[in-house]
Amino acid sequence: MSGAAFPHLAAVRSAITALYRGLSPGTVRGFATSVLPVDVAFDDAEDLRAGVERVALVMVRHLGLPEAPVRVRFTEMPEAAWVERDGGAGGYTVDLHRRFDGQRRDIGAVLAHEVMHVYLHRAGLGLPVTAEDEILTDTAAAYLGVGWLLLDAFREDSLGSQRLGYLTPQEYGYVLARRAAVFGEDPRIWFTSPQAYEAYEAGRRLAERDAVRPPLAGGPWAARQRYAAERALAARGRAVPEAVAGGGAGYAFEQDGSGGGLTVVFGCPVCGQKLRLPVAGRSRARCGLCRTVLECDT
């Protein structure tokens, strides 16, 4: 796994947990269907302002925000776009950089990020550090069904490359693959960018490893062997070497203070909530947050 490909991985995983915890598992599961390409695509002949209004409303409806008129303004600005609720007029104001008159295919991606800001603000879900809040926003967009557009905006050719948002393309792929595992929805059929497809595959491979890493049952032989070796060290009261424990294993051993023996702490592969199980062989556990039933071998 390349650090350059997944530099924000810990923050992304925390953001997924924040969605389940802050919105509720039931709310998250209400986004089982993504916005469709036919609803967010731009025709070259379509009036730009009318098209932006149309796509913004698609995002608003998908996220269950109050439907209201959309006012579009084109301006020179540092950001690609800005969306806010106009409390006085009861609508939405969309400020869009003038360059998007020539980059229509990316307008849906930009609006996905900006309307998600509105949604998270309304839900009272945000982070005080701007960089972390932007990662939360992009993760939410991808996980809640509008952010596949942000990955599809990733393109490379002989003239240069483009990516939108605050996650790397591989991190978008990781979040989309985590979503696909829960909802059974494959976003690859919507990608128009070959580079987006490749980034998704990189993210999918990592997400699939997360879904079977010990103590979850069904993990690969090498991972199970390492887990058994570390478990033996912990059972003898010896510390697991930091070089091993810090290698992305995703679990840690603790001695139960009440004398109940060794426990293993790990994250739910669906929502990331921390779980604690006694080290006692094969067992079945239910996540206390998302209620997913997990087959484990501790």
- Residues 206, 156: Cα–Cα separation, whole Å: 23
230-282 tens-digit pLDDT: 999 988 888 776 434 334 568 999 887 666 689 999 999 999 999 999 999 89
- What Rg do the C-alpha atoms of the chain give, in angstroms? 21
Average of per-residue pLDDT values in the chain: 89
Phi, psi of 111 (to 5 degrees): -70, -35
Per-residue pLDDT of 188-245, as tens digits, reads 999 999 999 999 999 999 999 999 999 999 889 999 999 999 999 988 888 776 434 3
Average pLDDT over residues 102-110: 85
Pairwise CA distance, residues 165 & 157, whole Å:
19
- Residues 67-92: pLDDT tens digits? 888 888 888 877 777 888 776 567 88
pLDDT of the residue at 246:
35
Distance of alpha carbon 143 from alpha carbon 128, whole angstroms: 21
